[in-house]
């Protein structure tokens, strides 16, 4: 046992010295090619074995013949190991260069194409991540293009919609100033109407800017969805009567929600006004609410005749107003964008789909946590 311990000690000293020299070499060459590092690792492995063998042979006083045999075997093993390490290093370097070339094209063109040749698992994983990043960047660029298009359309439409009432106000004010108005009271009423239109458009723009800037602060409180919908229906009842549209709200359950009452009332009002304006006379606008898979879903269904399938993804975009048949007389294409922004600020989702004779807008809001049970009343003290 003592001899084995001595042999292990001498072998450890010899191999440790070779390993220490290899560590120093790897540190000096750490900025060089991976092929050089692999060659150093292979040389260290063989040198450690040779150094340990020589140390044991010297301690055991082996013959020169036996020492020469051991040295020859170690040298051959070292040559084979170095050749294998260099071959492997060359393959890794080539794969790295191919990946660098693909990444360079990715940086210039924005599209990453993974090298077709097989690569080590780590490089293959890196290549897959770059491909996924390329897809995400492409989707992001597509969204940016769509948003930029929406912004251009919004600027054009807002400019047109602002110019029209401003021109009317100027003409009416000049007529009143020159005493050319046959019925000044009618002019005043019309001017008030145009000012209300302008005020509504400016309010929508301000609300949308708050949403896009992330400055929309919510004051959430627990309230009944039935009460929210009832207030919204009361607010649009006059508009529905003017358009000859029937409002139906019997399908609203008294579900609790945790929302900002003011902002959510604006959402429901925007949806109902949008539905009423696009529903022909004698048509029906129905609003309903239900609990579905841990969420509360509010739906508004109109009789607009449907939205073209290619326009459905753009319904909630800023400035979208669709076909002329769906363009309201005073709309700037902001109402539905505000709806989506407020609902998403509540961690919800806004969707639209076509149904028979019209379309349905659905708002999915997270269901509130169950209210804690009230504490039991303390027992009465004995008389």
pLDDT for 151 beyond 70: yes
pTM above 0.75, yes or no: no
pLDDT for 361 beyond 90: yes
Q: How confident is the model at residue 328, as a pLDDT?
A: 42
% of the chain with per-residue pLDDT over 90: 10
Work out whether strand 295-301 and strand 221-224 pair parallel, antiparallel, or are unpaired: unpaired
329 confidence band (pLDDT: 50, 70, 90): very low
How many whole angstroms from its chain centre is CA 202? 29
The total of other beta-carbon atoms located within 10 Å of residue 277's CB is 20
Higher pLDDT, 240 or 374: 240
pLDDT for 330 beyond 50: no
335, 154 Cβ separation under 8 angstroms: no
**Average pLDDT across the chain, whole number:** 78
Mean pLDDT of 112-116: 74
The C-alpha atoms of residue 382 and residue 296 are separated, in whole angstroms, by: 48
The total of other beta-carbon atoms located within 10 Å of residue 83's CB is 12
Please report the DSSP string for 31-61 in residue order.
TS-HHHHHHHHHHHHHHHHHHHHHHHHHHTT
Say how many Å lie between the first and final Cα of the chain, rounded: 91
The C-alpha atoms of residue 141 and residue 297 are separated, in whole angstroms, by: 32
pLDDT in tens, 15-70: 677 778 777 776 776 667 766 777 777 777 777 777 777 776 666 655 677 667 77
CA nearest neighbour of 352 among 319, 304, 283, 284: 304
């Amino acid at each position: 046992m003592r001899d084995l311990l001595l042999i292990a000690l001498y072998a450890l000293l010899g191999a440790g010295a070779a390993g220490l020299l290899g560590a120093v070499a790897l540190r000096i060459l750490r900025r060089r090619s991976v092929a050089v590092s692999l060659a150093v690792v292979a040389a260290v492995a063989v040198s450690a074995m040779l150094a340990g063998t020589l140390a044991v042979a010297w301690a055991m006083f082996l013959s020169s013949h036996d020492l020469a045999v051991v040295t020859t075997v170690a040298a051959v093993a070292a040559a084979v190991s170095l050749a294998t390490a260099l071959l492997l290093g060359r393959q890794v370097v080539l794969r790295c260069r191919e990946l660098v070339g693909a990444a360079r094209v990715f940086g210039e063109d924005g599209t990453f194409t993974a090298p077709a040749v097989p690569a080590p698992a780590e490089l293959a994983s890196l290549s897959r991540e770059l491909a996924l990043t390329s897809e995400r960047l492409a989707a992001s660029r597509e969204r940016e293009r769509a948003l930029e298009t929406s912004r251009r359309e919004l600027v054009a439409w807002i400019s047109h919609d602002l110019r029209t009432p401003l021109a009317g106000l100027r003409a009416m004010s000049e007529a009143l100033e020159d005493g050319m108005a046959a019925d000044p009271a009618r002019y005043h009423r019309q001017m008030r109407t145009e000012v209300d239109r302008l005020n509504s458009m400016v309010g929508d723009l301000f609300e949308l800017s708050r949403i896009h800037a992330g400055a929309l602060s919510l004051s959430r409180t627990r309230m009944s969805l039935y009460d929210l919908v009832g207030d919204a229906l009361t607010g649009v009842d006059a508009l529905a009567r003017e358009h000859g549209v029937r409002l139906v709200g019997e399908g609203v359950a008294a579900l609790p929600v945790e929302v900002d009452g003011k902002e959510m009332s604006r959402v429901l009002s925007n949806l109902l006004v949008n539905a009423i304006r696009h529903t022909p006379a004698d048509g029906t606008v129905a609003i309903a609410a239900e609990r579905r898979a841990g969420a509360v879903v509010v739906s508004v269904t109109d009789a607009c005749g449907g939205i073209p399938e290619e326009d459905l993804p753009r319904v909630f975009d800023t400035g979208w107003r669709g076909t002329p048949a769906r363009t309201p007389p005073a709309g700037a294409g902001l109402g539905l964008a505000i709806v989506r922004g407020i609902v998403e600020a509540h961690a919800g989702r806004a969707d639209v789909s076509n149904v028979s004779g019209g379309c349905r807008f659905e708002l999915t809001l997270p269901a509130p946590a169950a209210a804690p049970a009230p504490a039991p009343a303390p027992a009465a003290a004995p008389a």
